[in-house]
Amino acid sequence: MILVIDIGNTNIVLGVYKEQKLVHHWRISTDKSRTMDEYAVIVRSFFNLSKFSFNDIHGAIISSVVPPVTPILEMMVEKYFSVTPLSVGPGIKTGLSIAYDNPREIGADRIVNAIAGFNKYGGPLVIVDFGTATTFCAISQKGEYLGGAIAPGIGISTEALFQRASKLPRVEIVKPKSIIGKNTVNGMQAGIYYGFCGQVDRIVELMQEELGGQAKIVATGGLAELIAGDSKKIEVIDPFLTLEGLIIIYEKNRH
C-alpha cells in the first residue's frame, strides 16, 4: 500500500492506495505546532479504525504548500512507517511541461492537480481548486501547464468580513433561499455564495476563451460541491483529484 499526503494551509489530506485504488482517506487540520509524534498518534488512530497497520505501507509521497510542516511529516513517515517519502518539488519526474515564468513559484498542489486532471480528462482543461485560496489552473491540449489565477478562498474571505466589520456576525457558508436577504445573516450568505459562483464562472469563462473555447472545467477541494450547484461552468466535481495526482507521480518516480 502507498501512503499519499497533501499538506494544505488549512487541512492535511491523507490517502492510502492499493493497486492504484484509493481504499482509505482522511482529513485533519494543519497545525504548525504539532510534533512528528503527535501527527503519528493521529494517523495511527485512523489506521486502527480502518483495521490495518503501519507495516502495510511500503511507499509514500508528500506534496506541501506549508514549508514548516513538510519536514515534520517527512520525519513522521520515516520514523513510523520505515519508508523514505518522495516529496513533490524540483527534480521530481512529473511528465508535465510547465510554461510558467518561474516554475518554482507554483504550489505543489497545483502541479499535482494538473497531472491528475490531464491524465483523466485530457486537455484543454481548467481546474478550479477550492482551498484556502481558490486557484484556477489552465492546461493546454498538449498537456502544458500554462498558468492560472489565484483568488482569496471562500473561508478566509468570509472570516475577514466578520473580523473587519464590527456589526457583521460569523456565518455558515450555505446556499441561501433567496438572493435578497431578509436579515443580516441571509444577506451575507447571499453575497458570499452567489458572489463566489459569479467569480468562478467569470474567471473560467475568460480562461476558456484564451484556451479556444473547448476547455473542460473540473472542480476539486472542500467547497467544490457547494459552489458547483449554481455554477454555470463547472462540469465535473472530482474530490480526490490531488490524491490521484500524487499516486501518478509516485509511480513515475518509484524506480
* Nearest Cα to Cα of residue 47 among 20, 23, 21: 23
Please measure the distance between the N-terminal and C-terminal CA atoms of the chain and give it in whole angstroms.
16
Q: Which residue has the cell 464590527?
A: 166
Across the range 162-189, mean pLDDT stands at: 88
Q: Is the pLDDT of residue 95 over 90?
A: no
Verify whether residue 109 is a known catalytic residue: yes
Compute the distance between CA of residue 86 and CA of residue 74 in angstroms, rounded to an integer.
9
pLDDT in tens, 210-233: 998 789 999 999 889 999 989 999
Compute the distance between CA of residue 54 and CA of residue 236 in angstroms, rounded to an integer.
34
Q: Mapping DSSP to helix (H, G, I), strand (E, B) and coil, where does residue 103 land? A: helix
pLDDT in tens, 116-164: 999 999 989 999 999 889 999 999 999 999 999 999 999 888 888 888 8
The CATH number that domain 97-245 falls under is 3.30.420.40
State residue 20's pLDDT score. 87
Find residue 4's DSSP bridge partners.
Answer: 15, 61
Contacts of residues 36-43 at CB distance under 8 Å and 24 or more positions apart, as own/partner, are 36/72, 36/73, 36/75, 36/76, 36/79, 37/76, 39/72, 39/73, 39/76, 40/76, 40/79, 40/80, 43/14, 43/76, 43/80
State residue 52's pLDDT score. 86
- For residue 153, report the phi and psi dihedrals to the nearest 5 degrees: -70, 160
pLDDT in tens, 22-73: 999 999 999 999 999 999 999 999 999 988 889 999 999 999 999 999 999 9
**Cβ-contact 223, 89 below 8 angstroms:** no
State residue 126's pLDDT score. 97
Compute the distance between CA of residue 48 and CA of residue 51 in angstroms, rounded to an integer.
5
What number of CA atoms fall less than 13 Å from residue 80's CA on the CB side? 19
pTM: 0.90
Domain edges within the chain: 2-87, 97-245
* Residue tagged active-site, from 6, 56, 101, 109: 109
Cell of 46: 485512523
DSSP secondary structure code for residue 54 in this structure: G
**Cβ-contact 124, 117 below 8 angstroms:** no
How is domain 2-87 classified at the CATH fold level?
A: Nucleotidyltransferase; domain 5 (3.30.420)
State residue 165's pLDDT score. 83
State residue 255's pLDDT score. 67
**Cβ-contact 10, 155 below 8 angstroms:** yes
